[in-house]
Every structure is written in structure tokens, then in C-alpha cells.
Amino acid sequence: MTLPLATQWVPEIFLNLIFVTDPLCPWCYAFGHFLLGIADSYPDLPVSLVVGGLRTQKLAPLNVEQKRYELAKWDRVQKLSGLSFNRESFVASKFDNNTELMCRAVVVIRQLAPVSDHLLIFCKLKEAFYVLGRDISNGRKIARVAAGVLAEVNITISPTEFYNRWREADTIAETQRDFEKVKDWNINKFPVLMLESNQQVHSVAFGFITIHDLHRNLKLALRQFGYADSSKQLREKLI
């Protein structure tokens, strides 16, 4: 029997954006800012962060030649995104190329902050390095930076408390689970954005794209999952 249209049941649609990223990927820095701006248009669409582990082998601080190579990437990102970078602080820093340390900080932030704040805090954490030139060469320095970023969104934790969480075995294990998940998804470049709906996943962006293309791809993905048809309010967001 078909129910009258007014009382017909419409199944609930669960939607979630999955942002696969690395805190020390300059392309992710720009993409994260794009996504943050677009996410404001979809306040009911949560964004989950999954850290990719761009470079996790033990590495010494970058030498001059390696920094030049990294700065060349920064130049390309700045040209395409318009975002600024603090080159002077980077050149003077003892920057360690092992991104696992900062990935672990993102995992701690996930544990401490509400989901609705994850993307904003992540972008602020990246700005602390790329724009403010903060020192993130070891765990205690990372903890000072991260505690300051959390304070900006009214989450109080001391650098010592953050550091203790950062070095816990459970935090290290959770970070490694993220890395394994990314491998299982066959993702080997960042950033990647996926839309999840009731255990179905649709690719929105695989690698860096412009904010215009990101907005267009997200609209198309949302329509594919029926987001546009679930209510008048949601339809208006996609026009």
C-alpha cells in the first residue's frame, strides 16, 4: 500500500565529508582554506579529518637544498591560491621532514574538540606554521603551538597536558590507524575530499583543485546522494 504523499516516510540521509590530508602538505594548506569557506554554506554537513602520513620515516632537519625544493612548491601553491607563506622563518627553522609528529597533533585535536571545530582548528594549526612561522621541530614545541590554537576556540589545555596526550601510546596507535586507512583507500597523494553517505563514498576532489571546481564538485556529489531532494532548505543551498 502506498501512503499519501503528505505522510510518506523519507529515509534519513547521513552525510559526512572526509578530508584526507597532512598538516605539512602545502597543497592541503590552501585546499583546507577553500573547504573552510565552502563548509560555512553547509553548516549541517560535518567534516571528518583523516591524517595521511605524507612522510613518516625518520628524517633529519631539511638541508638548504631540500628547503629550496619545498619553497618551490610553496611558490606554486601561493600563485594558485593567493595565500601567503612565511619563507624567512622556514629558511631559518630546523624543520623536520617527518610529518607523523604533526599528524599526531591533529589526532589529539580530534580527541579534544567538537567535530564542528575540527576543520577550523586544523586551518589555524597550519597557519601557525605556514604564516606565523612557529617552531614545530619537536613534540613539546608542537604542543605549545597546538595549545595556543585551541585557546583561540575556547578550549583550554596546557602545553604540558597536550604533550602528554600527544605522546600516549593510544594517540600513536590512533594516528597509525589513520595511515592504514588511507593505504586501504589507495590514496597516495593529498589533499583528497570524499563525501560519505550511509557507507557509500563518492570522490569530490583527488588532489588540489580550485575553489570554483571544489564548489561545483561538492554540489554534484550532494545531488548524487539525494541531498538536494531531502528538503526545500537543502535544495536552496545547492542553487
Residue 41 in any domain: the answer is yes
pLDDT at 50 over 60: yes
Distance, CA of 221 to CA of 214 (rounded, Å): 10
pLDDT given at position 6: 40
In a domain, 9, yes or no: no
H or E stretch covering 152: helix 139-152
Is the entire prediction scored with pTM above 0.85?
yes
3-state SS assignment for residue 204: strand
Q: pLDDT of 173-222, one tens digit each?
A: 999 999 999 999 999 899 999 999 877 788 999 999 999 999 999 999 88
Domain of 40: which CATH number? 3.40.30.10
Asked whether residue 7 is domain-assigned, the answer is: no
Q: Give tens-digit pLDDT for 106-162.
A: 999 999 999 989 999 999 999 999 999 999 989 999 999 999 999 999 999 999 999
Decide if pLDDT at 87 tops 80: yes
Q: Nearest to residue 214, comparing CAs of 47, 66, 4?
A: 47
- Total structural domains in the chain? 1
User: Whole domain around residue 116: which residue ranges?
Assistant: 15-233
Structure confidence at residue 61 as a pLDDT band (50, 70, 90):
confident
Residue 152 lies in a domain: yes
User: What pLDDT was estimated at residue 56?
Assistant: 77
pLDDT at 126: 95
* Residue 4 domain flag: no
**In-domain check, residue 238:** no
Within a domain: 76: yes
**Degrees, nearest 5: CA angle 213-218-223:** 130
**Residue carrying the nine cell digits 583528497:** 192
Provide the pLDDT for residue 8.
Answer: 40
Burial class (CB in 10 A: 0-12, 13-18, 19+), 135: middle
